[in-house]
C-alpha cells in the first residue's frame, strides 16, 4: 500500500507491538480510523493508544497527572542497569523535575535567540558546501549527501566536537534512537547498548578536555552543562554524559527527517513546490506544514500518576500512554482538510515538537535548519527530481527516509 493511499483498515485488535504489514510505511489510513472510531485504544499489554489532538495537548501540559519518567517501562525492555536503560532514564526527554528542570534551564540558557543567530552564518556555509558537492554528481542521495549531514555539523558545533571526531556520531544516534521502537530484534538491542557504551567512552574524554580548556560560555552548550549555568546546581558526571548524548541524538534524527520529508513532499506535490518557488516568503508556514503532515517524531509517551479520565475512559495509575502525534496532527477537529498538504496553512497548531513543559528545547534551531536547508536547496536546484529507489526509514516512532535518490542537474 503506497503512502497516503486511501484504504479501508480495521483497528480492532490493533497492537502497536505487532503492527500490521505496511503500517510503518503508511500509518496514515490507520490514524484516520483511530481518530474516527478508537481515539483511546487499549493495547494487549495494558497500555493505551491516545490519538486526538485535544487529549495529547492536555497530557503534554499536565506534568502532575502524566509523568515522563520511563523506568518502569524501560526496565523490562532494556534490562535494569543496562546502557540503554541508563541513557533513556537519565536524559532530558524521559525525566521529571527536578532533573528535567535543571537540565532544561541550562540548555535553554545556551539556545537563546542571540546564540542561535550566531549559528546562522555557519549553517548557511554548511548547506552551501553540501549543495556545491551535490551539483557535481549525476545522482545524489538527499539523506546521506544532504539532510543527515546538516544537523550533525550544527549539533557538533553546539557541543564543539572536533570535526575529525564527528564520523561515528550518526551511526551511534541511529542505533540508540532505533532502540526506542515498540519492537526490537536482539541485534537492534545489542547495537543500541553498544552505541551507548562507545558514545559514553568518547564523551568522557571530550568532557575531560573541556574541563581543562573551557569553551565560549555564550555558545558552547557543553561548557554550560559542565558549569551548571542557570543556578539550579551542577549535573553529575553520568547526567552530563547522557544529556550530551541526548542533545546529539535529538538534534540529529528529527532535523534530518524534517529536511528529507520536506523535500520529498515538495517533489510529490509539485503544485505546492511551484507556489513556494513563486512566493519564497511562504517558507516558514511551509516548514510548519511539513512538520504537521509528516511529523519526524510520530509517537510520544507518558505514564499516568493517578487514576484519570482520558476520552471517556477511566485509566488506572501507572498506565503507559502511547501519544500518537502523527494522528493528532491529522485531527479534523483541529485541522481543516487534514489530509491536504497546504504550505500556507494557518493556523497550524501541530504537535510535532510535543508541548507544555516538555516542548522540544531545540525547536527554534530545528526550524532554522529546516528553513535554510530547504530554501537554499530550492534556490540552487528548483527542478530536482527524485528517482526510483526511495528507502523508507522503516520505523514506527520516527518517520523519515534512509535514502532518497535524486537528480539535481
State whether the Cα torsion 162-160-197-363 is positive or negative: negative
What pLDDT was estimated at residue 6?
Answer: 45
Q: How far apart are CA 378 and CA 234, in angstroms?
A: 44
Cβ atoms of residues 251 and 362 within 8 Å:
yes
Distance CA 100, CA 92 (A): 5
Q: What is the pLDDT along the chain (409 residues), one digit of tens a residue?
A: 344 444 578 898 999 999 999 999 999 999 999 999 999 999 999 999 999 999 999 999 999 999 999 898 899 999 999 999 999 998 888 888 888 888 888 778 777 787 788 889 999 999 999 999 999 999 999 999 999 999 988 888 888 999 999 999 989 998 998 999 888 999 999 999 999 999 999 999 999 999 999 998 877 888 888 887 544 557 788 988 998 898 888 788 899 999 999 999 999 999 999 999 999 999 999 999 999 999 999 999 999 999 999 999 999 999 999 999 999 999 999 999 999 999 999 999 999 999 998 899 889 999 999 999 999 999 999 999 999 999 999 999 999 999 999 999 8
Residues 310/319, Cβ–Cβ less than 8 Å: no
Looking at residue 27, what is its pLDDT? 96
Cis (ω within 30 of 0) for the bond into 347?
Answer: yes
User: Is the separation of the CB atoms in 343 and 275 below 8 Å?
Assistant: yes
* Residues 353, 361: Cα–Cα separation, whole Å: 9
Q: What cell numbers appear for 350 in the block?
A: 501541530
Axis crossing angle, helix 169-178 with helix 186-212, rounded to the nearest 10: 130
Q: Which domains does the chain have, with CATH numbers?
A: 74-297+356-407 (1.10.630.10)
| Phi and psi torsions of 98, nearest 5° | -90, -15
Please give the Cα distance from 44 to 389 (Å, whole number): 36
pTM beyond 0.85, yes or no: yes
Return the pLDDT at 352.
Answer: 97
CA 114 to each of CA 9, 161, 183: distance values in angstroms, whole numbers, following the listed order = 48, 21, 41
> How far is residue 310 CA from its own chain's centroid?
25
Helical axes 237-268 vs 270-278, angle rounded to 10°:
100
- Helix (H) or strand (E) holding 257, with range, is helix 237-268
Torsions phi, psi for 140 (to 5 deg): -130, 175
Q: Residues, the chain, total?
A: 409
Q: How far is CA 51 from CA 162, 231, 258, in A?
A: 42, 38, 21
DSSP 8-state code for residue 81: T
Cα radius of gyration rounded to whole Å, the chain: 21
39: Cβ contacts below 8 Å, ≥ 6 apart? 50, 51, 52, 55, 311
Please give the angle made by the CA atoms of 165, 171 and 173, to the nearest 5 degrees: 95
pLDDT (0 to 100) of residue 278: 98
Amino acid at each position: 500500500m503506497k503512502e497516503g493511499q486511501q484504504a479501508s483498515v480495521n483497528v480492532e485488535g490493533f497492537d502497536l507491538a505487532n503492527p500490521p504489514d505496511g503500517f510503518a510505511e503508511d500509518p496514515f489510513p490507520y490514524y484516520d480510523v483511530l481518530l474516527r472510531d478508537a481515539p483511546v485504544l487499549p493495547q494487549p499489554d495494558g497500555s493505551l493508544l491516545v490519538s486526538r489532538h485535544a487529549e495529547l495537548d492536555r497530557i503534554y501540559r499536565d506534568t502532575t497527572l502524566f509523568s515522563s519518567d520511563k523506568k518502569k517501562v524501560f526496565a523490562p525492555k532494556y534490562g535494569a542497569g543496562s546502557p540503554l536503560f541508563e541513557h533513556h532514564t537519565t536524559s532530558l526527554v524521559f525525566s521529571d523535575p527536578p532533573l528535567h528542570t535543571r537540565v532544561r534551564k541550562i540548555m535553554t540558557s545556551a539556545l537563546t535567540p542571540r546564540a542561535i543567530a550566531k549559528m546562522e552564518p555557519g549553517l548557511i556555509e554548511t548547506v552551501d558546501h553540501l549543495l556545491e558537492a551535490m551539483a557535481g554528481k549525476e545522482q545524489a542521495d538527499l539523506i546521506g549527501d544532504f539532510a543527515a549531514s546538516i544537523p550533525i555539523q550544527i549539533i557538533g558545533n553546539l557541543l564543539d566536537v572536533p570535526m575529525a571526531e564527528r564520523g561515528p556520531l550518526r551511526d551511534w544516534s541511529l542505533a540508540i534512537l532505533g532502540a526506542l521502537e515498540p519492537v526490537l530484534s536482539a541485534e537492534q538491542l545489542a547495537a543500541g547498548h553498544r552505541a551507548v557504551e562507545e558514545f559514553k567512552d568518547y564523551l568522557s574524554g571530550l568532557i575531560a578536555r573541556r574541563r581543562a580548556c573551557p569553551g565560549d560560555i555564550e555558545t558552547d552548550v557543553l561548557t554550560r552543562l559542565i558549569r551548571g549555568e542557570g543556578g539550579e546546581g551542577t549535573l553529575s558526571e553520568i547526567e552530563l554524559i547522557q544529556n550530551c548524548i541526548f542533545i546529539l541524538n535529538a538534534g540529529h534524527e528529527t532535523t534530518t527527517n524534517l529536511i528529507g520529508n520536506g523535500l520529498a513532499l515538495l517533489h510529490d506535490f509539485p503544485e505546492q513546490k511551484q507556489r513556494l518557488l513563486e512566493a519564497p516568503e511562504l517558507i516558514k508556514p511551509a516548514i510548519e506544514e511539513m512538520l504537521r503532515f509528516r511529523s519526524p517524531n510520530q509517537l510520544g509517551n507518558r505514564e499516568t500518576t493517578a487514576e484519570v479520565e482520558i476520552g471517556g475512559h477511566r485509566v488506572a495509575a501507572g498506565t503507559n500512554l502511547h501519544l500518537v502525534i502523527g494522528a493528532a496532527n491529522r485531527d479534523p477537529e483541529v485541522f481543516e482538510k487534514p489530509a491536504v498538504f497546504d504550505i500556507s496553512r494557518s493556523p497550524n497548531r501541530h504537535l510535532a515538537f510535543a508541548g507544555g513543559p516538555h516542548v522540544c528545547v531545540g525547536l527554534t534551531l530545528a526550524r532554522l535548519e529546516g528553513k535554510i536547508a530547504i530554501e537554499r536547496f530550492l534556490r540552487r536546484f528548483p527542478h530536482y527530481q527524485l528517482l526510483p529507489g526511495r528507502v523508507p526509514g522503516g520505523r514506527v516512532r520516527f518517520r523519515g527516509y534512509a535514502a532518497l535518490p535524486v537528480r539535481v542537474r
